[in-house]
């Protein structure tokens, strides 16, 4: 089964793993995201959701993001 439904990282339920498809932010900031592990094709897991913030795991590290950043990361489910 292969889904191609594209969501943003904000829509991902807790615990689920997704693959990053695209980054939609200012170029500089996209670069920073990539360097911190949020590169296209990387696998991310949403660890927990606060209010307006998300913690996800990428490359074995937990990274905290706010809503604005999370909504600029386009992901797709891959399992």
Q: Which is nearer to other proteins, 3 or 59 (CB)?
A: 59
Length of the chain: 79
Q: Is there binding between residue 79 and other proteins (CB under 8 A)?
A: no
CB of 5 to other proteins, least distance (A): 21
Cα-Cα-Cα-Cα dihedral sign, residues 37, 65, 72, 14: positive
Distances (CA, A) of 22 to 19, 51, 70, 76: 10, 24, 12, 10
How far, in Å, CA of 56 to CA of 78, rounded? 16
Binding track, positions 18-57, relative to other proteins; x by CB under 8 A: -----x-x-xxxxxxxxxxx-xxxx----xxxxxxx-x-x
Query: Which positions touch other proteins (CB under 8 A)?
Result: 23, 25, 27-37, 39-42, 47-53, 55, 57-66, 68-69
């Amino acid at each position: 089964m292969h889904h191609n439904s594209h969501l943003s990282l904000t829509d991902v339920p807790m615990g689920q793993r997704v693959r990053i498809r695209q980054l939609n932010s200012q170029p500089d900031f996209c670069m920073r995201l990539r360097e911190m592990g949020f590169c296209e094709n990387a696998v991310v897991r949403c660890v927990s959701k606060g209010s307006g913030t998300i913690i996800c795991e990428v490359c074995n590290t937990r990274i905290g993001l706010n809503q604005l950043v999370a909504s600029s990361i386009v992901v797709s489910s891959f399992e």
